[in-house]
Amino acid sequence: MKHHRKEVEETVEQAQLALKEAQAELMREQKADAAVFVENTPEKPSNRTAYPYPFEAVSSKSKVILQPRFGSHRPSKNAVFAFAEGYGLEVYVTFVESLKLTGYDGDVVFAVSSEEDMKPDVADYLKYYDNSDSNGLNVISYALPWECYTKGGERILSTNNKGRGSTTNNGFSDCQVHGIYSTEDGVSPAKDPRIARPVATARYEMYWIWSRQYEATSHVLILDVRDSYFQSNPFEFEQSTISSDSCRLDLFEENREAVNIGKSSYNSKWIKSAYGKDAFESMAEKPVICSGSSMGSKNAIELYSTAMVAQFDKTKCKQVGCDQGFHNYLYYDPSARFNGVLVENGCQINVHKQGDGAVNNLAAMRNTSLRSQGVLITRNLTGNDGDTVIEKQVKFDDDSVVVNQEGSTLSPVMHQFDRDKELKLIIRKRTQLLTKLWQVSRTKT
């Protein structure tokens, strides 16, 4: 028994040593890369008066030194941001290929696993879409060095004895990410200044960092990756009378007839945990605004991401889902001053009812089928019906589409498609075809 215990202790010790060596190597690489990293200066620095920059938790002299693993940003382009840690090839294909079919030629920015932890073909797929020097769809991937813990505080060791392994647990572990900011010298990697928190909360620091790589004329869509599918280019969808050149933030509700904050046990819990009973009661009757989809001009997204990081710093709410509590609090509670901050920076905010904007959030409509509600319909995708639809570059077996609430306008993005059994099956079949087509195209290059 003692001999067996000694072997286990030696195995754990070896794993911990290997992990430390991998982290040290990462730190050395980031220190070397930091000298060539160019961080864009905010166009409107007045947001400092409301929320501190995330790196200031280290030092006011700190800098962002995080580097992409694959690809490079194109500052003048639009961009789609998504946390995509740990997924299989099918998730990336569904997201990227459906977006490509809309004619989108901007950037897609992912947070991903380290290359050695990626599932089969994922690294090749991400590299395939590194089009930094061309005008097509371009993928930039950041491999983040997460250090994760169970909810009980126990360190999650690597699964491969070479590095971190798949420790983020689909967002349910509490994690830190070291080396994304520098120390005061502007070069040396700093430890994460924040306590371990769910990656669903920590991801807003990535969104803030990424937004600073784009020009004020760029627009950004933040979107959940696992359950989203594109039907048309969301940046070409007219959501309001506000000029597309203006600073604007677009948020998207869940279905208000089906749910509000008070009716949802999850949303109620997140608001109460972060802000208390009084804050919850003040917004209990309000529609739920989904934190998995937000859109806006570069400056608005930068302000929004900064505010989301500041909410964690204020509340220290570590429940998975508290980011949605932050999201709703910022809009509904006057004490958050978020709406005022946007106005002070020349921005306007638009909250779209479910089925009215560029993103159609579908989860709250799961009690009956989407087809019975007139949301999932079968129609011609060639564009002959006068609607703006995707060019039919691929022949799918099923011509079903998701439409907005008035029943005729194509929803540019269907979010949470997997809550409907029929729609989930339709997208799965399309993903299988799109995967085969990519595999064929890869052999030709």
At 282, the amino acid letter reads S
Residue 369 forms part of a structural domain: yes
Q: Measured at the alpha carbon of residue 308, what is the angle toward residues 304 and 312, in degrees to the nearest 5?
A: 165
Average pLDDT of 140-144?
A: 95
Place of tokens 């799918």: 396
370/417 Cα distance (integer angstroms)? 10
Residues 58/193, Cβ–Cβ less than 8 Å: yes
Whether 401 contacts 380, CB under 8 Å: no
Asked whether residue 99 is assigned to any structural domain, the reply reads: yes
Alpha helix (H) residue ranges in 221-276: 265-275
49: pLDDT strictly greater than 70: no
The number of domains in the chain is 1
- Asked whether residue 217 carries a pLDDT value surpassing 80, the answer given is yes
**pLDDT score, position 257:** 94
Per-range mean pLDDT, top range of 126-135, 164-173, 383-392: 126-135
Side chain identity at residue 188, one-letter code = S
- Look at residue 311 and tell me whether its pLDDT is greater than 90: yes
Per cent of the chain over pLDDT 90 is: 67
Of 100-104, 195-199, 242-246, the range with the lowest mean pLDDT is: 242-246
In this prediction, residue 42 carries a pLDDT of 40
Mean pLDDT computed over every residue of the chain: 85
pLDDT band at 240 (very low <50, low <70, confident <90, very high): low
Query: How confident is the model at residue 117, as a pLDDT?
Result: 85
Alpha-carbon distance 45 to 149, whole Å?
A: 35
Q: Contact, 349 vs 295, CB < 8 A? A: no
Distance of CA 208 to the CA centre of its chain: 11
**Per-residue confidence (pLDDT) for residue 246, from 0 to 100:** 77
Contacts of 83 (CB under 8 A, 6+ apart): 110, 111, 171, 199, 200, 203, 206, 224, 225
**In a domain? residue 15:** no
Q: Any idea of the CA torsion for 329, 330, 334, 338, to the nearest 10 degrees?
A: 170
Asked if residue 161 lies in contact with residue 113, where contact means CB atoms within 8 angstroms, the answer is no
Confidence at 152, pLDDT banded by 50, 70, 90: confident
Print the domain residue range for 62.
24-444
Is the pLDDT at 140 greater than 90? The verdict is yes
Q: How many CA atoms lie within 13 A of 369 on its CB side?
A: 9
Q: Classify residue 274: in a domain, yes or no.
A: yes
Residue 19 confidence (pLDDT) above 90: no
Say what percent of the chain tops pLDDT 70: 81
- Cβ pair 287, 332 in contact under 8 A: no
List C-alpha distances in Å: 233 to 236, 238, 385, 430: 6, 11, 18, 18
Q: Is residue 100 one of the residues assigned to a domain?
A: yes
Q: Is residue 3 part of a domain?
A: no
- pLDDT band at 412; cut points 50, 70, 90: very high
